[in-house]
Amino acid sequence: MKISKQDVLYVANLARLNVTDEEADKLANEMGSIIDFADMLSEVDTTGIEPTNHAMKMENVFREDVITGSYDRELILKNAPSQESGCYSVPKVVE
Q: Exposed, middle or buried, 8 (CB in 10 Å: 0-12/13-18/19+)? A: buried
Total tally of structural domains belonging to the chain: 1
CA–CA distance, 54 with 9 (Å, rounded to integer): 35
Among residues 47, 46, 4, the alpha carbon closest in space to that of 28 is found at 4
- Which range marks the domain in which residue 37 is found? 5-43
Tens of pLDDT, residue by residue over 16-51, are 999 999 999 999 999 999 999 999 988 889 888 888
Flag whether 95 is in a domain. Answer: no
| pTM summary value | 0.48
Flag whether 27 is in a domain. Answer: yes
Tens of pLDDT, residue by residue over 53-85, are 777 887 888 888 899 998 888 898 988 889 888
The CATH number of the domain holding residue 34 is 1.10.20.60
Provide the 10 A C-beta neighbour count for residue 58. Answer: 9
Residue type, 75: L
